[in-house]
């Protein structure tokens, strides 16, 4: 059940049990008013290393809001939902460029059908770092790793984008739970083949993941899926890339 308060102290014991030291807090509401509260949570819970909030990039005043939030080094960036109305693209482009100048990143929350738009945005803003949430909206399915790799191929040469390995507990096409780690591993390997080992990052998607499991399941599945990876590759997946991308 998601319609209840879920706070940092609720997940911290599971993080400790799995050896996860830090987390990024990502917006839950579509309002910038949430950001000061999220930053205050970072004060209360030092294991929260940063905040990805919501600022409406279609708002002409977004630039000043971003500049204000950027004064706090724990504010790491914003999340943008795709698609958006074409008429607001010019304003969004102005604010995405401003994100880059401020050293902030942009998570893209999208469906797989929006990959062409995401590619165009990433290409248009080489100075801004982007993160494609939840495998860029691709649901995990048995045998789908080649299609996923092909979708990523246009991004291979764009060093300003990373892919978040997240959402796989709730976003898969009936992959049996006992073999989910195998399918997940194939998707991870496909992404590494295209993007390299430094551009994938684990995300728990907590508390959304609790619709199909627990926080610990997301960590265990990711580590099991990465069993064939090199030590460096698994370290990048489970923390290194996030530290770089979110400037921790």
Question: For 105-153, how does the pLDDT look when each residue is reduced to its tens digit (9 = 90+)?
Answer: 999 999 999 999 999 999 999 999 999 999 999 999 999 999 999 999 9
Is residue 173 within 8 A of residue 138, CB to CB? The reply is no
Is residue 225 one of the residues assigned to a domain?
yes
Once rounded to an integer, what is the mean pLDDT over residues 84-90? 98
Is residue 92 within 8 A of residue 67, CB to CB? The reply is no
> Residue with structure tokens 């950001």?
35
pLDDT band at 84 (very low <50, low <70, confident <90, very high): very high
Backbone angles phi, psi at 106, to 5 degrees: -135, 115
Is residue 1 one of the residues assigned to a domain?
no
Tell whether the model's pLDDT for residue 1 goes beyond 70: no
Is residue 3 one of the residues assigned to a domain?
no
Q: Which residues pair with 165 in a beta bridge?
A: 202
Is residue 199 within 8 A of residue 160, CB to CB? The reply is no
Is residue 2 one of the residues assigned to a domain?
no
For position 2, what pLDDT does the model report?
A: 66
pLDDT band at 5 (very low <50, low <70, confident <90, very high): confident
Q: What is the C-alpha to C-alpha distance for residues 137 and 107, in angstroms, rounded to an integer?
A: 12
Q: Specify the number of domains making up the chain.
A: 1
Which structural domain range is residue 34 located in? 8-245
Mean pLDDT taken over the chain: 97
pLDDT digits (tens, 9 = 90+) for 31-49: 999 999 999 999 999 999 9
For position 4, what pLDDT does the model report?
A: 81
Tell whether the model's pLDDT for residue 3 goes beyond 80: no
- Output the pTM of the full model: 0.96
For position 30, what pLDDT does the model report?
A: 86
Once rounded to an integer, what is the mean pLDDT over residues 220-244? 97
Is residue 185 one of the residues assigned to a domain?
yes
Task: Give the CATH number of the domain where residue 216 resides.
Answer: 3.20.20.140
For position 43, what pLDDT does the model report?
A: 96
pLDDT digits (tens, 9 = 90+) for 20-34: 999 999 998 889 999
Is residue 91 one of the residues assigned to a domain?
yes
Is residue 110 one of the residues assigned to a domain?
yes
């Amino acid at each position: 059940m998601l319609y209840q308060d879920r706070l940092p102290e609720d997940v911290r014991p599971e993080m400790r049990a799995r050896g996860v030291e830090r987390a990024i807090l990502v917006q839950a509401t579509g309002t910038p008013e949430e950001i000061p509260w999220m930053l205050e949570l970072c004060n209360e819970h030092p294991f929260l290393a940063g905040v990805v909030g919501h600022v409406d990039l279609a708002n002409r005043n977004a630039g000043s809001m971003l500049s204000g939030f950027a004064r706090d080094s724990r504010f790491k960036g914003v999340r943008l939902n795709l698609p958006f109305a074409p008429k607001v693209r010019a304003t969004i482009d102005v604010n995405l460029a401003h994100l880059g100048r401020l050293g902030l990143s942009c998570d893209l929350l999208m469906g797989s059908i929006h990959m062409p738009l995401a590619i165009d945005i990433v290409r248009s803003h080489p100075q801004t770092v982007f993160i494609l949430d939840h495998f860029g909206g691709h649901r995990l399915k048995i045998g789908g790793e080649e299609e996923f790799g092909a979708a990523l191929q246009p991004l291979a040469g764009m060093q300003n984008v990373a892919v978040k390995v997240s959402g796989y507990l709730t976003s898969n096409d009936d992959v049996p739970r006992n073999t989910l780690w195998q399918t997940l591993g194939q998707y991870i390997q496909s992404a590494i083949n295209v993007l390299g080992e430094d551009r994938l990052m684990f995300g728990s998607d907590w508390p959304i993941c609790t619709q199909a499991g627990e926080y610990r399941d997301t960590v265990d599945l990711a580590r099991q899926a990465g069993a064939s990876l090199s030590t460096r590759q698994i370290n990048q997946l489970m923390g290194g890339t996030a530290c770089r991308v979110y400037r921790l």
